[in-house]
Amino acid sequence: MKNQNFLQVIKYTLIAASAGIIQVASFTVFEKVLHMKYWPSYLIALVLSVLWNFTFNRKYTFHSSNNIPKAMFLVFLYYLVFTPLSTIAGDRLTALLGG
């Protein structure tokens, strides 16, 4: 059991890190290559990252197929609060710093 928990931690960490890489890479492409404004770049990158993280952690880390719509709805509720706050704050900070 202890070995299985350690493996779960490793999988979770690798998937979370890959989600972070996806968010940073896609944000960079949207903002620097496609010259999109900060907030749509951030928002699209965040959604891509969350979908990746949710999907792969459910499949490979937690092996959960129980009530996927409910789990996705709970994730949606969390990001319903988090996303506008982080998007607005990031956009204002970028404008303030002249980015």
Q: Which two tokens stand for residue 82?
A: 């988090």
| Residue ranges making up the domain that contains 24 | 2-97
pTM recorded for the entire structure:
0.79
- Please identify every stretch of the chain with a pLDDT value under 50, giving residue numbers as ranges: none
Q: Which amino acid is at 44?
A: I
What 3-state class would DSSP assign to 98? coil
The total of structural domains in the chain comes to: 1
- Any idea what the Cα angle at residue 85 is, between residues 84 and 88, rounded to 5°? 80
